[in-house]
Chain A
Amino acid sequence: MTDPKAIENNPFKELGKIPELRFKQGYSVHSTYIPMRDGVKIAATICLPNGLLPNDKIPTVLIQTRYWRAMELRIPFRWVLDEVVTANPDPEITTGRGYAYIRTDVRGTGASFGIRRIPFSEEEVKDGADVVDWIISQSWSDGNVVSKGISYTGTTAEVFSTTHHPAIKAIIPGHGLWDSYTDVAYPGGCYDLAFMQMWSFLGRNLDLNNPKVFRQIMPSVWLFSKGVKPVDTDCDLKLFQDAIDKHKQNQYVHEHALDRNYRDEPLPEGTTYDDIIFNRKSRIEESNLPMLIWCSWYDSGYIDAAIHRFLNLSNPMMVILGDWNHGAGFPANQFFPKRVHVTPSPRERINAFMNFFDKCIYGKSIESKILYYYTLAEEKWKKTKIWPPKGHMYQRWYLSENFILSKKLPENDVGEDDYKINFRATTGRLNRWWTLLAQPIDYQPRTRMDEKLLCYTSQPFEKDTEITGQAIICLYLASSHEDGAIFVYFEDVDEQGNVTYITDGEFRVIHRKVSNEEPPYKILIPYHTYSKEDASPLIPGEIAELKFGLHTTSVFIRKDHRIRIAIAGADKDTFLRYPTDGRPTITISRNKTNSSYIDLPIIENKNNSQGV
């Protein structure tokens, strides 16, 4: 069961009560092609509330997707459901609340024309403004457009703000990336092979309208759908076929990324990983659009992305960080693995989003920045106007002899632990990276997994302790090889010895140089450029300092629980193997001279973060 306290206190309720529906008779659905400035036709599906009178004017919620705006349903579903059913209950609630609900296939995808070489290209972004021009020219439009989405559509909503179209009033980017290199493609410089390969495979087959492949990877979609929905007016499907043929020229991220290692290696159209979001920072800020940003502690590097938006964007914003999977389809709190429902429910969440849009269009919009976060294990929502929250301080824990994690600096002159990398180590396929494909999250059984790893465990905590922020680990490490990757899992161990995953960090050793340059955006961990110039292969046998951040979290370590860091050299079902050949032995120093440690972000005075 979902924790009743969490239901009671969740911050989505801060956005107000759900008003009575303005339209109660369902909605109509039709589709059309919208011409862009360069002649490319963008497919759009438009849902309007039934009962809309000729003189009624309503705002629009726009969703720009690369995952099919609408589906051609198989029978019998086509006989009882509409083509936007997979977005349910979004269209129903949105139209009921008195908005038009429009979904477009971004250029090069679905039934839209155009060619796609990179995600979120400038042309794709400009299309958003052209679509808005079309929307506000419709007889039912009141001239206001808002946009939201989860993951890809969250990012299209965010970059939509850079068009500075005056009709756009607010955006809700949910579970979106900020730095495509570290948040998703190369977390810590390690290539997320599983996701990049799968996402590219999925994208190609979506773009070629080949639903067959979903039988293996997304069977519910395969059972439901015959493919993308052609546009209504395209009766002989000639346009549809032309559009799909064009998509054969599309390119996919895995093709560009696999044989590369560095952030500064160019992508097509003269772009880089930096151009997706954070290089657009000033343009997003110039829009001054109010934003509602939401994500989860367990979502890939996207949790750090949410924090980076809060730290770096001046836009008025509300940020909500919870304990669900990517997109909030499933609960993901590893302390409560038996929960079956997400809090809030999709219906409650969507209604809260509509309340946010209502505020921005009709009422008093938000004017400042506020962040709500859920502390795992404490099961409590809190709010803060600053990040890290007040009372934040680092507490240093040293890797010590007998595999102990201790607050006491090692006193011995000599002390080190060897670990031969186990390339069978894995967090499985229900981890924070696979969830980017909307998978649930399950890190169990950690106890068994830790047997393959190098673990350091603390003594039982003497008092309840909140850890909120990004831990930083510093390892003094020698290896038998020049290249390698280090995975550090941060875990809770209860009185019975049950181990619960909290967060992790991963890092490819060749990127270890901590740069003195100014980072391109504000970060709270050591800055690594991941550039070719700064690459520093290890010298076998020589001790090097490796210092990097773990993904942001908020967790409550209860009195008598212990904490553990578990160190691996591979996560075989997710990341590319480093080095490609050989099986390195690493040696971690834990002595007076080279004292490896982890800095934990403790919230010293709990009263500083207000409960919700």
Chain B
Amino acid sequence: MEELYPTLKDMLKESIESKIDKPNLTIYLILKNQIKGNIAEPKEIIIMLKMFGGLREDIPIDIGIDNEIQRIALKFQTEANFNKIQEIMETIWENTVNMLIEVTKGNFNIINDIPDVDD
């Protein structure tokens, strides 16, 4: 599985398109690969932001998921929250892969401050 890591970052960047609609405080994630079944549950988006994006607080996000066109819309009530998530999204795929590389090397500390995300 580790041999995937060098290409995983590019796979994520190439397969997930982010679109920013600042006037409407909305971030879209558009999935280019054909996904079997539902693309995500709203809760999974929050978990992803917490696990791999470093989000440490609960912020209100209106999450709309369109399985037909494989698009996720993250709508925010405040510009501050919008900016926060926009910043996270800029580096999230790099962080994701770096985290995997580090834990595989035995650096488990890197996941220490991830909050409890599992039911």
Contacts and interface: CB of A to CB of B under 8 A. Distances in A.
Chain A, interface size category, equals 20 to 34
B111 A219 contact: yes
A323 B12 CA distance: 35
A79 B33 contact: yes
A119 to B, nearest CB: 24
A132 B1 CA distance: 27
Interface string B20-42: 00000000000101011001100
Contacts of A211: 118
Contacts of A222: 111
B35 A85 contact: no
Contacts of B35: 78-79
A76 B96 contact: yes
A232 B36 CA distance: 10
A559 interface: no
A460 interface: no
A256 interface: no
B15 A219 contact: no
B44 A75 contact: yes
B48 A75 contact: yes
Given A80-B12, A219-B108, A75 B40 contact: yes
Given A85-B1, A219-B108, A76 B16 contact: yes
A385 to B, nearest CB: 35
B31 A85 contact: no
Given A75-B45, A219-B103, A88 B118 contact: no
Given A85-B1, A215-B111, A223-B99, A80 B8 contact: yes
B95 to A, nearest CB: 11
B12 A86 contact: no
Contacts of B39: 75, 79
B48 A74 contact: yes
Contact of B93 (A76, A219, A224, A440): A76
Contacts of B69: none
A138 B72 CA distance: 38
Contacts of B63: none
A552 to B, nearest CB: 28
B80 interface: no
A416 B99 CA distance: 54
Nearest to A76: B12
Interface string B97-119: 00110011010100100000010
A337 interface: no
Nearest to B38: A78
B11 interface: yes
Interface of A: 74-76, 78-81, 85-89, 211-212, 215, 219-220, 222-224, 232, 329, 346-347, 440
10 residue pairs, one from A and one from B, having the closest CB atoms: A219-B103, A212-B118, A80-B11, A80-B15, A220-B103, A75-B44, A75-B40, A86-B1, A79-B31, A75-B48
16 contacts: A74-B48, A75-B40, A75-B44, A76-B16, A76-B92, A78-B40, A79-B31, A79-B39, A80-B8, A89-B3, A219-B108, A223-B51, A223-B99, A224-B100, A347-B3, A440-B106
